[in-house]
């Protein structure tokens, strides 16, 4: 049982002791924020944040094999082109926003940066650290209009739904007000 005095210090922790939610409760607590960068400036911004601003930044990268004129070479590319994460107290955000190569700090509106959930950043860190092949994947939400890109149903369009841990595409005939749902593999669809 947590005492009333101790409750606030444990409120942001999950059962495993990892901060839940954004992990920050005041302007002086460091939080994770997502930064949008100029095209191909992710590595420069990452370097400037670490060296000049002295804040923790995280640029998720993946290894891609590229062919040069005379050989193959493994190169590190941003997993999310144009984006990286920075962990900083809210009072440093103005300074971070003016770092060379930063376009903006993402948020609900342009005036109010929004902290990224701690678990989301940690999940990406764990995925990148596992040293398995990574591929960017389109962000799909249940309810998005999608296009089936391969398989027997290639070319069909519908609405993505999820039921009992399975994905389906709902195809409709609007004139008669009827629909049918077909189970598909999530990686067979792309956002329309």
Count of structural domains within the chain = 2
Task: Say if 12 falls within a structural domain.
Answer: no
Is 153 found in the same domain as 70? Answer: no
168 shares its domain with 108? no
9 in a structural domain: no
| Whether residue 122 sits in one domain with residue 30 | yes
Is residue 156 assigned to a domain?
A: yes
Residue 2 resides in a domain: no
Does residue 154 form part of some domain?
yes
Average pLDDT, the chain: 83
- Model confidence over 41-98: pLDDT tens digits? 999 999 999 999 999 999 999 999 999 889 999 999 999 999 999 999 999 999 999 9
Instruction: Say if residue 109 is in the same domain as residue 171.
Output: no
- Shared domain check, 106 and 151: no
Cα of first residue to Cα of last residue in the chain, in angstroms, is: 50
Shared-domain flag, residues 103 and 37: yes
What is the mean predicted confidence (pLDDT) over 10-30? 56
Q: Are residues 108 and 187 in the same domain?
A: no
What CA–CA distance (Å, rounded) separates 37 from 45? Answer: 7
- Whether residues 27 and 121 fall in one domain: yes
């Amino acid at each position: 049982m947590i005492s009333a005095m101790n409750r606030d210090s444990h409120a942001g922790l999950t059962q495993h002791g990892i901060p839940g939610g954004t992990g920050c409760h005041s302007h002086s607590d460091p939080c994770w924020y997502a930064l949008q960068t100029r095209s191909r400036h992710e590595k420069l911004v990452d370097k400037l944040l670490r060296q000049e601003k002295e804040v923790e930044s995280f640029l998720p990268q993946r290894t891609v094999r590229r062919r040069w004129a005379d050989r193959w070479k493994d190169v590190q590319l941003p997993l999310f082109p144009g984006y990286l994460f920075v962990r900083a107290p809210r009072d440093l955000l103005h300074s971070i926003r003016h770092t060379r190569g930063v376009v903006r700090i993402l948020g609900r509106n342009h005036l109010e940066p929004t902290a990224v959930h701690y678990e989301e950043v940690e999940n990406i860190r764990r995925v990148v650290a596992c040293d398995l092949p990574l591929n960017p994947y389109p962000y799909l939400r249940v309810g998005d209009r999608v296009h089936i890109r391969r398989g027997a149903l290639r070319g069909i369009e519908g609405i993505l739904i999820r039921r009992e841990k399975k994905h389906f595409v709902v195809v409709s005939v609007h004139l008669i007000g009827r629909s049918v749902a077909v189970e598909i593999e999530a990686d067979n669809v792309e956002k329309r």
